[in-house]
Amino acid sequence: MSLPLSVLDQSLARSADEAPTALAETLEMARWCEQLGYQRFWVSEHHAFPSVAGSAPEVLLAALGAATQSIRLGSGGIMLPHYSPYKVAEVFSLLANLYPGRIDLGIGRAPGADMATAVALATDGRPKFDAFPALTGKLSDYLWNDDTQPLLSPRPPEKIPLWMLGSSPDSAVLAAQRGLPYNLGLFINPQADERLIGLYKEHYQASERQPDPHAILTIGVFCADTEERAKQLQLTYDLNLFRFFTGRTNGVSMTPDEALNYTIGSQEEAFIASRESSRAAGTPEQVREKIESLAERHKADEIMAVTNMYYLEDRKRSFELLQAAFQ
């Protein structure tokens, strides 16, 4: 199976005071993935998470554009209910003028934060999640309709691709109705229905910008030279994520060696098991086999890999092995 491969980077910090290192590693990863031949490099939006440095993808994209030459760059994604559609369109029009032909605008409905933070992000203290479809319509009008008032300044140099992100039937159907490419975040919702991309394609309404449906499946990938190492790196991420979700972390991530010595209880086992079917971990051959199986089951046209490993060199090696496995 021939599958385009792309990357989502979340700028994970090993501790709350290591944001500069995390951001520098994101820049290095973008250069590395461009060198390896990956299709896209997207960055995420999260708020009030001490271990996540990427709270403003539009700012990070400007730095990534300057650090790279040709790889497509995008937001995975902008959480549109927090913002004015006009302002988002203006920012991405500016990015597209800086880096023509290289910018993707991915948008989502989720808060990317807890509700208290979502309230703080809203200018009037009222998050506008229910208005997401209308906000999407306004954003696309600003980006693509030349007679929309007020006009964007600067004007986009091309029709900027607008991607719908999600992991529910609502997002799949909305993407189909709007004639937008779709990104299913399986790494966020490991229990997402396998029929979502099929639902999207079944209801797809062709648009001038996107005549045919196109769906990315975003999954966790942990690829290493040995299965043992890959599983250790996956376990480290799982335990750090579990500790974060359950409030058992002080903002400092455990290392792979610490993860091996961690006493895993029934809650941790259940959490890890709930994520096993939605990702790929192991040697390059094992990872390729799992990715091809997931892509076929979900009817995906492209795979986007999230590789949240503790050490930068392990991440770089994982993407090197992954690309080689599909060449």
For residue 257, being part of any structural domain is answered with no
Q: What is the DSSP string of 98-141?
A: HSTT-EEEEEESS-SS-HHHHHHHSTTS---GGGHHHHHHHHHH
Cα-trace Rg, the chain: 19
pLDDT for residue 247: 84
pLDDT for residue 48: 87
Residues facing residue 72 across a β-bridge? 40
- Structural domain including 45 reads 5-220+298-321
For residue 146, being part of any structural domain is answered with yes
For residue 244, being part of any structural domain is answered with no
Q: What is the pLDDT of residues 163-205, one digit of tens each?
A: 999 999 999 999 999 999 999 999 999 999 999 999 999 999 9
For residue 233, being part of any structural domain is answered with no
Encoding tokens for residue 323?
Answer: 């690309």
> Left, alpha or beta for 11 (phi > 0: left; psi -120 to 50: alpha)?
left
For residue 248, being part of any structural domain is answered with no
Angle at 85 between CA 81 and CA 90, to 5 degrees: 135
For residue 104, being part of any structural domain is answered with yes
Q: What's the predicted TM-score (pTM) here?
A: 0.96
With the C-alpha atoms ordered 68, 71, 72, 78, is the resulting torsion angle positive or negative? negative
- How far apart CA 254 and CA 237 sit, in angstroms, is 9
H helical segments located in the chain: 19-36, 57-67, 85-98, 115-121, 132-144, 169-178, 196-202, 227-245, 256-260, 266-275, 284-298, 312-326
Which one-letter DSSP state was computed for residue 221?
Answer: E
Percentage above 70 pLDDT, the chain = 100
For residue 49, being part of any structural domain is answered with yes
Task: Please answer whether residues 51 and 2 qualify as being in contact, where contact means their C-beta atoms are separated by less than 8 angstroms.
Answer: no
Q: Residue 46 above 80 pLDDT?
A: yes
Q: What is the pLDDT of residues 69-113, one digit of tens each?
A: 999 999 999 999 999 999 999 999 999 999 999 999 999 999 888
pLDDT for residue 1: 62
For residue 236, being part of any structural domain is answered with no
Q: What is the pLDDT of residues 294-303, one digit of tens each?
A: 999 999 999 9
Distances (CA, A) of 312 to 19, 34, 140: 14, 16, 37
Nearest one of 165, 139, 162, 161 to 152, comparing CA atoms: 139
Task: Tell me the average pLDDT across 290-297.
Answer: 98
Here the CATH number for the domain that contains residue 9 is: 3.20.20.30
Q: Report the number of distinct structural domains present in the chain.
A: 1
